[in-house]
Amino acid sequence: MKDDNAYNFRVIDYGDSVQVRLYSTPVLRGGQVSKLDRLQLHDVSDDEFDELLEQKRQERSINSSVNRTKNSIYAVARANEWEFFVTLTFDRSKVDSSDYNLISSKARNWLNYLRKSYAPDLKYLAVPELHADGKHWHIHALLSNIGSIKLEDSGIVKAGKKIYNLPGWKYGFSTASMIESSERVSSYICKYITKELAILTQHRKRYWSSANCVRFKDCVSDEFLDDPGLIFEKYGDSIDYIKKVKCPVVNRSVTYVEISKE
Predicted local distance difference test score (pLDDT) of residue 39: 39
Q: Structure pTM?
A: 0.70
Predicted local distance difference test score (pLDDT) of residue 49: 47
Predicted confidence (pLDDT) at residue 250 exceeds the cutoff of 70: no
Measured CA to CA, the distance from residue 227 to residue 233 in angstroms comes to: 11
pLDDT category of residue 37 using cuts at 50, 70 and 90: very low
Predicted local distance difference test score (pLDDT) of residue 47: 56
- For the ranges 8-17, 111-120, 155-164, the lowest mean pLDDT is seen at 8-17
Say which amino acid occupies 230.
L
Q: What is the mean pLDDT of residues 173-186?
A: 95
Q: What CATH architecture does domain 84-209 belong to? A: 3-Layer(aba) Sandwich (3.40)
Q: What is the mean pLDDT of residues 238-250?
A: 75
The percent of residues above 70 in pLDDT, for the chain, comes to 77
Measured CA to CA, the distance from residue 156 to residue 160 in angstroms comes to: 10
pLDDT category of residue 6 using cuts at 50, 70 and 90: confident
Predicted local distance difference test score (pLDDT) of residue 3: 53
Predicted local distance difference test score (pLDDT) of residue 261: 67
Predicted confidence (pLDDT) at residue 231 exceeds the cutoff of 60: yes
Domain boundaries, the chain: 6-79+215-260, 84-209
Most confident of 14-23, 34-43, 161-170: 161-170
List pLDDT tens digits, range 101-145: 999 999 999 999 999 999 999 999 999 999 989 999 999 999 999
Measured CA to CA, the distance from residue 48 to residue 28 in angstroms comes to: 26
List pLDDT tens digits, range 53-106: 566 666 777 778 888 899 899 989 999 999 999 999 999 999 999 999 999 999
Q: What is the mean pLDDT of residues 42-58?
A: 55
